[in-house]
């Protein structure tokens, strides 16, 4: 099972440059096994083109390295903080994708202007506050996770309704029920950010989407009566 966990984390990591979300070695992905309390994460600073499944580092939810000859990503404490706070998630992705990072560096949330955004987020993509000098000089990566959790608690945001956040002055983090879904959310965040920037260029005073349209698009994919996609009935056994 842990070999499979490392494979899932590896597949998610190598998907990031394939989707154009990564420059150099900026970014990482992790997958958690809740039953064992262990997650697999990219090793620090290893080029994506040279990455292998066996290089994924296993870390427990107490922060101890369980397996791996390489050091885990420097962002490991942030991933761990999110796994501890958001119990329903199974994977975390961090990128420095260009357009989403531009919003993060500017300290601006991404306004919800259209249905592409509403297919993934039930409102604006939130941005955290700045870290304080004390937080930066201390357990920086853990505090990065803390400001994300703080942002969600302060506005009672559901991580399942908002599968990502912008860390101010830094870049986006996304998550999902699986690490593959976290990658999908990272792709969506970058697409949404690019569309928002173009929309603001065309219409600087553009207002956000109508509440009815937001609700319809979000609920058709994520609500109790969701009908987007295919539902495959279990095949009956042959007699």
119, 124, 158, 161: the catalytic one is 119
Do residues 164 and 186 make contact, with C-beta atoms less than 8 angstroms apart? yes
* Alpha helices by DSSP H, 119-173: 133-137, 140-154
Whole-number Å distance between alpha carbons of 92 and 173: 7
119 is catalytic: yes
Q: Is 161 assigned a catalytic role?
A: no
* Cα–Cα dist 76/5, whole Å: 16
Catalytic choice (155, 158, 161, 228): 228
- In the sheet that holds 91-95, the strands lie side by side as 65-67, 57-60, 38-41, 27-33, 91-95, 172-176, 164-166
Contact 44, 74 (CB under 8 A): yes
Catalytic residues: 119, 228
């Amino acid at each position: 099972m842990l070999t499979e966990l490392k494979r899932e984390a590896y597949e998610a990591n190598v998907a990031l440059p394939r989707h154009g979300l990564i420059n150099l070695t900026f970014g990482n992905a992790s997958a958690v096994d809740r039953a064992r309390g262990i997650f697999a994460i990219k090793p620090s600073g290893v080029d994506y083109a040279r990455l292998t499944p066996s290089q994924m580092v296993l870390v427990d939810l107490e922060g101890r390295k369980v397996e791996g000859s390489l050091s885990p990503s420097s962002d490991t404490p942030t991933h761990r903080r999110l796994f501890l706070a958001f119990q329903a998630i199974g994977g975390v992705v961090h990128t420095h994708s260009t357009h989403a990072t531009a919003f993060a560096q500017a300290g601006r949330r991404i306004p919800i202007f259209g249905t592409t955004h509403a297919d993934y987020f039930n409102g604006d993509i939130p941005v955290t506050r700045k870290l304080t000098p004390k937080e930066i000089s201390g357990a920086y990566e853990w505090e990065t996770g803390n400001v994300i959790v703080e942002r969600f608690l302060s506005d009672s945001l559901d991580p399942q309704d908002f599968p990502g956040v912008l860390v101010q002055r830094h870049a986006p983090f996304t998550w999902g029920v699986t690490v593959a879904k976290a990658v999908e959310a990272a792709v969506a965040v970058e697409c949404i950010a690019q569309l928002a920037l173009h929309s603001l260029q065309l219409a600087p005073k553009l207002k956000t989407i109508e509440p009815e349209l937001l609700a319809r698009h979000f609920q058709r994919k994520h609500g109790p009566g969701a009908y987007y996609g295919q539902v495959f009935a279990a095949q009956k056994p042959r007699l």
